[in-house]
């Protein structure tokens, strides 16, 4: 790890000023569960680190004006276990406690989790492996390498790295918004717009402007969010990234035997370069009875456009199955 300057601001305004003054060579430290790892392997080499993990103004959670508001500095474990999160957004709670070990969840923050970088082995592998995300214009080693864990949706010729997070998948499903603050003031944007597709600029991993900090996440309180779940398929039961995951919400109407879908949310993780909202699958289900065939068709629609490589074609069928299983399990629990 290279030498760096460490700064612990007393206020959010001080943190933003430190970022502004330091420019691109200055990085934020929230929970510390990702940045230090990347610094140790040479992927990140900041000249200065601004530690915001003790800023109390970022650590809050409350229900107000029809929204659940979660501070960016709130710990993942605290948010997952909060009774209002479990009651109003079960999928968000599940996505958090399935994300990592208890020790990591106790340290990691909501804002830091949303800004985590890919776990692609070639991105983290350093000099021997070309990576357009790490070093623009060098190529994508994953394209001709071991691609079993790579994305099949939202890929490009320049990048097939999978987005690793769980929380953002649930947030995208339920129309969450992030509030940010920077040198030019405050603004808000949907979580779904926080990360662009890689295209030919995979090194552009988010749309935050220089010096901006995520201050909080806001989720509209809805009936479909209250009847939601998060399913994560992974190679082992805990502490592993998803091969495929789905955040789903479902509102049914009618008798249990012939209940039809009147509202639906579906988002995918583990199979795409960004958290993936399956809006077409949602719309197709509206007004239909949620049979096994309908659930599978929704999964197939959600995975349309998938472009598998040599070793990750299994993710297409796994994605279909994950969506179908999520919908059916949720409908049975609600009946």
Which stretches within 165-266 are classed as H helix? 167-173, 223-226
The answer as to whether 175 is a domain residue is: yes
The more confidently predicted of residues 1 and 112 is 112
Q: What is the pTM of this model?
A: 0.96
Does residue 36 sit within a domain?
no
Report yes or no on 131 lying in a domain.
yes
- Beta bridge partners, 177, equal 190, 218
Q: What is the pLDDT of residue 145?
A: 95
pLDDT at 332: 85
pLDDT in tens, 55-92: 999 999 999 999 999 999 999 999 999 999 999 999 99
pLDDT digits (tens, 9 = 90+) for 113-145: 999 999 999 999 877 899 999 999 999 999 999
* Per-residue model confidence (pLDDT) at position 258: 77
Between 314-334 and 292-302, two packed helices, what is the crossing angle to 10 degrees?
140
Stretch among 162-171, 209-218, 248-257, 258-267 having the lowest mean pLDDT: 248-257
Its domain, for residue 79, covers 56-335
Check residue 45 and give its pLDDT: 92
What single-letter DSSP state applies at residue 199? T
Residues 6+ apart with CB under 8 A from 116: 34, 164, 165
Q: What's the mean pLDDT in 133-159?
A: 96
CATH of residue 99's domain is 3.30.465.10
Which of these ranges, 87-96, 188-197, 251-260, has the smallest mean pLDDT? 251-260
Number of folded domains in the chain?
Answer: 1
What are the angstrom distances between the C-alpha of 49 and each of 64, 106, 109, 150, 224?
33, 21, 16, 30, 40
Q: Where are the beta strands (DSSP E) in the chain?
A: 5-7, 26-29, 48-51, 61-64, 67-71, 177-182, 185-190, 213-220, 228-233, 244-253, 260-269, 276-277
Q: Is the pLDDT of residue 335 over 70?
A: no
- pLDDT, average across residues 22-33: 91
Q: Is residue 37 part of a domain?
A: no
What's the confidence (pLDDT) of residue 101? Answer: 85
Task: Please report whether residue 26 resides in a domain.
Answer: no
Closest among 244, 277, 281 to 261, alpha carbons compared: 281
Domain for residue 293, yes or no?
yes
334 pLDDT tier (thresholds 50, 70, 90): low
Confidence of residue 236 (pLDDT cuts 50, 70, 90): confident
Structural domain contains residue 143: yes
In a domain, 30, yes or no: no
At residue 110, the 3 state secondary structure works out as helix
Of all residues in the chain, what percent carry a pLDDT higher than 70? 99
């Amino acid at each position: 790890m290279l030498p760096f300057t460490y700064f612990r601001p007393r206020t959010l305004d001080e943190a933003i000023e430190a970022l502004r003054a330091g420019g691109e060579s200055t990085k934020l430290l929230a929970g510390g569960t990702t940045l230090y790892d990347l610094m140790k392997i040479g992927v990140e080499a900041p000249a200065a680190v601004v530690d915001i993990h003790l800023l109390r103004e970022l650590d809050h959670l409350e229900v107000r004006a029809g929204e659940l508001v979660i501070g960016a500095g709130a710990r993942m474990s605290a948010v997952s276990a909060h009774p209002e999160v479990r009651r109003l957004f079960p999928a968000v709670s599940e996505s958090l406690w399935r994300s990592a070990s208890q020790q990591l969840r106790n340290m990691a923050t909501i804002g830091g989790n949303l800004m985590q970088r890919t776990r692609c082995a070639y991105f983290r592998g350093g000099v021997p492996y070309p990576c357009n995300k790490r070093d623009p214009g060098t190529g994508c080693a994953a394209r001709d390498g071991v691609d079993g864990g790579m994305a099949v949706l939202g890929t490009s010729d320049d990048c097939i790295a999978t987005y690793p997070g769980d929380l953002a998948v649930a947030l995208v499903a339920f129309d969450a918004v992030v509030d940010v603050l920077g040198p030019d003031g405050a603004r808000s944007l949907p979580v779904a717009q926080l990360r662009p597709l890689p295209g030919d600029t995979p090194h552009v991993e988010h749309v935050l402007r220089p010096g901006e900090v995520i201050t909080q996440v806001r989720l509209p309180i809805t009936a479909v969010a209250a009847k939601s779940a998060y399913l994560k398929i992974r190679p082992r039961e805990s502490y592993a990234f998803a091969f495929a995951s789905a955040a789903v919400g479902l509102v049914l109407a009618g008798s249990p035997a012939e209940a039809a879908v009147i509202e639906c949310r579906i988002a995918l993780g583990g199979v795409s370069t960004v958290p993936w909202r399956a809006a077409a699958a949602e719309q197709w289900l509206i007004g239909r009875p949620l049979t096994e065939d309908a659930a599978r068709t929704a999964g197939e629609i959600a995975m349309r456009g998938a472009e598998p490589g040599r070793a990750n074609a299994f993710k297409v069928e796994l994605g279909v199955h994950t969506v179908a299983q999520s919908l059916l399990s949720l409908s049975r629990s609600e009946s």
